[in-house]
């Protein structure tokens, strides 16, 4: 595998990476940085936690000149939390070339945010708030030379395609476009083909369709001892633990129960303001509170160092959500653990997830039994579209 210098990364950026202890590129970085520096459009399929942020951040920083009209690069991401984290990841290496990075997301004042963004070389934005700024004519994107869609599949899953389409119409057609996504099939593939030209396609292939460096445990629990079982797991040796629940009310309720058992925990979800969510994440990342309870929507895009355990207090909806949740640990070469609670009424559903992800032996290790595949009959269940399922899940959250 090539070094950063051999990939063509500039000396100032290489030194900035070395100061952070980053000496060798990860797989996805090794694949995409050369094409990124050459100005090619890129389609990259890579799982969460693979180091893809630097895969697009390094070419952006090395290709931009501080004297260019601003903003010169735009990174679209699905969530506020991811916007903050991508900007922090980029800012260190951007300083090596005197470039400024600004964030655009909801929950903060429009005018001040727009002024900072308009003066920045790189904007990291969520589609909804950026479209709002464009509609109010508080920002222009006519000087953008590089466009990145990070976690493009998540943006579409969250219903952002109309905003993405409108934003891309505001960006010059003559540009470099880089797509990073867990999948390049279906609607994501259609979007990629519509907005790229002769792209280089890269994919990090995994032997298993899940997180290779994480251990996976499926723990049988009963409803009356579910919280006590969580406390027992939390008292095991660990650093930071991220606990997933399905609803906002459930997150707050679980935090109260944990505090009553002398476990200090804090919750983030869609009903929290941006400042509340950021304060919670800051306290969690610094270890002031080492248990964070989150819903799927609020936790998308979290990339925090030191998360050693992801606990599915409520099981994920499907195998995709499982990978996304447990992918919050075992990131960028580190190890971690995923623990999923399995109540009696959820055993079949969780066994299906485990089977899909080739985790059958892990599922059965604690005495659970994999469900037999359903017997096909002539009757068919009523068809439910993915959109209606997402809407139903969104209402529950």
Give the model confidence (pLDDT) of 186-219 as tens digits: 888 888 888 899 999 998 775 555 566 789 999 9
Mapped onto helix, strand or coil, the DSSP state of residue 338 is strand
Q: Which long-range contacts (CB under 8 A, 24 or more apart) does 130-135 make?
A: 130/76, 130/104, 130/163, 130/167, 131/163, 131/166, 131/167, 132/106, 133/104, 134/166, 134/167, 134/170
How many CA atoms lie less than 13 Å away from 82 in the CB half-sphere?
24
Contacts of 129 (CB under 8 A, 6+ apart): 104, 105, 106, 113
Q: Which two tokens mark 276? A: 């509340």
- pLDDT for position 190: 87
- All structural domains of the chain with their residue ranges: 11-203, 214-364
Examine domains 11-203 and 214-364 and report if their fold is the same. yes
Strand partners, 244: 294, 312
Contacts of 109 (CB under 8 A, 6+ apart): none
In order of 165, 355, 396, the CA distances from 349 in angstroms are 36, 10, 18
- pLDDT for position 380: 40
Q: What is the pLDDT along the chain (397 residues), one digit of tens a residue?
A: 688 999 999 999 999 999 988 988 988 999 999 999 999 999 998 766 678 899 999 999 999 999 989 999 999 999 888 898 899 999 989 999 999 999 999 888 899 999 999 999 999 999 999 999 999 999 999 999 999 999 888 888 788 999 999 999 999 999 999 999 888 888 888 888 888 999 999 987 755 555 667 899 999 999 999 999 999 999 987 889 999 999 999 999 999 999 999 999 999 988 887 788 888 888 998 889 999 999 987 666 676 778 999 999 999 998 878 988 898 887 766 788 999 999 999 999 999 999 998 899 999 998 899 876 544 444 343 333 333 344 444 434 4
Say if strands 214-220 and 307-312 run parallel, antiparallel, or are unpaired.
unpaired
Contacts of 199 (CB under 8 A, 6+ apart): 40, 41, 42, 43, 177, 179, 192
CATH superfamily of 214-364: P-loop containing nucleotide triphosphate hydrolases (3.40.50.300)
d(CA 155, CA 149) in angstroms, rounded, equals 9
d(CA 16, CA 6) in angstroms, rounded, equals 16
Contacts of 347 (CB under 8 A, 6+ apart): 220, 368, 369, 371
Rg (CA), the chain: 22
Put simply, whether the predicted model's pTM sits higher than 0.75 gets the answer no
- pLDDT for position 382: 38
Cis peptide bond prior to 71, omega within 30° of 0: yes
Task: Determine which helix (DSSP H) or strand (DSSP E) holds 255, and give its type and residue range.
Answer: helix 248-260
Q: What is the DSSP letter of 181?
A: E
Q: Which two tokens mark 78? A: 């699905």
d(CA 220, CA 346) in angstroms, rounded, equals 10
Is the domain 11-203 a CATH 3.40.50.300 member?
yes
- pLDDT for position 312: 97
- pLDDT for position 94: 97
């Amino acid at each position: 595998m090539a070094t950063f210098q051999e990939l063509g990364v500039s000396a100032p950026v290489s030194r900035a990476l070395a100061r952070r202890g980053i000496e060798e590129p990860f797989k996805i970085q090794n694949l995409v940085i050369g094409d990124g520096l050459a100005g090619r459009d890129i389609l990259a399929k890579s799982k969460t936690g693979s180091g893809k942020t630097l895969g697009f951040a390094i070419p952006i920083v090395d290709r931009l000149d501080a004297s260019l009209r601003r903003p010169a690069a735009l990174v679209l991401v699905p969530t506020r939390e991811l916007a903050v984290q991508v900007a922090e990841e980029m800012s260190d290496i951007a300083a090596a070339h005197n470039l400024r990075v600004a964030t655009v997301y909801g929950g903060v004042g429009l005018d001040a945010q727009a002024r900072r963004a308009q003066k920045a070389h790189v904007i990291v934005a969520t589609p909804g708030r950026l479209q709002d700024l464009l509609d109010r004519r508080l920002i222009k994107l006519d000087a953008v030379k590089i466009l990145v869609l990070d976690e493009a599949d998540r943006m579409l899953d969250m219903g952002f395609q109309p905003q993405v389409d409108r934003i891309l119409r505001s960006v010059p057609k003559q540009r470099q476009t880089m797509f990073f996504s867990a999948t390049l099939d279906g609607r994501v593939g259609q979007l990629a083909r519509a907005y790229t030209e002769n792209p280089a396609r890269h994919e990090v292939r995994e032997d298993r369709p899940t997180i290779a460096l994480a251990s996976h445990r499926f723990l049988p629990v009963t409803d009356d001892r579910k919280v006590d079982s969580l406390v027992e797991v939390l008292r095991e040796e660990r650093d930071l633990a991220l606990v997933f629940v399905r609803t906002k009310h459930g997150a707050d309720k679980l935090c109260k129960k944990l505090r009553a058992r002398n476990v200090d925990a804090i919750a983030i979800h869609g009903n929290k303001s941006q400042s509340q969510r950021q304060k919670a994440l800051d306290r969690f990342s610094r270890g002031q509170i080492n248990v964070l309870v989150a819903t799927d929507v609020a936790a998308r895009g979290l990339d925090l160092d030191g998360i050693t355990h992801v606990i599915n207090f409520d099981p994920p909806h499907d195998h995709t959500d499982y990978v996304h949740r447990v992918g919050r640990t075992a990131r960028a070469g580190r190890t971690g653990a995923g623990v999923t609670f399995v109540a009696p009424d959820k055993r079949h559903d969780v066994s299906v997830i485990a089977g899909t992800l080739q985790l059958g032996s892990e599922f059965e290790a604690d005495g659970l039994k994999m469900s037999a595949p359903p017997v096909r009959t002539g009757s068919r269940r009523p068809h439910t579209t993915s959109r209606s399922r997402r809407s139903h899940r969104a209402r529950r959250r």
